[in-house]
Amino acid sequence: MVRVESCLKSAQELDAMLAPYLGGNDPVFGRMSGVTLQDFLDPRKVAEARELIRANTAENGRILVLGTGAALIAERFDLLVYADLTRWELTLRQRRGQARLLCGLAGGGSVEKNTAP
């Protein structure tokens, strides 16, 4: 199994890439950007994952690539399953402080509830 998470750029690289769009200390006031899902991936790590996929597929015939962007990692696939999370569910998780980010922003990777008056 290959987890797409293992192909992401480091938290420091993602922080630097996204900082101009995040609205400073309040992530609610971020702005639109041209950043794509591909931009979150480290090309070296993607190449290593693809090699692992090729080797495992040749040996066993099957491999599972799991996570957001799996179709960007797997060059070929027989079955692609898409699962989504509704915006409302994500909002509820953010309010409970349970939403994970792809990088180390906002308190070590989770959106924390602001309790300031």
Closest CA to 76 of 89, 98, 57, 101: 57
As given in the structure block, the two tokens for residue 38 are 């591909």
As given in the structure block, the two tokens for residue 27 are 């992530």
pLDDT tens per residue, range 37-71: 999 999 999 999 999 999 988 888 888 999 889 99
Count Cβ atoms below 10 Å from residue 103 Cβ, excluding itself: 19
Distance CA 96, CA 55 (A): 42
* pLDDT by position in tens, the chain (length 117): 999 999 999 999 998 999 888 887 776 777 888 999 999 999 999 999 999 999 988 888 888 999 889 999 998 888 888 888 898 988 898 888 887 765 544 444 444 444 444
Closest CA to 102 of 11, 26, 2, 6: 11
Please give the model's pTM, rounded to 2 decimal places. 0.69
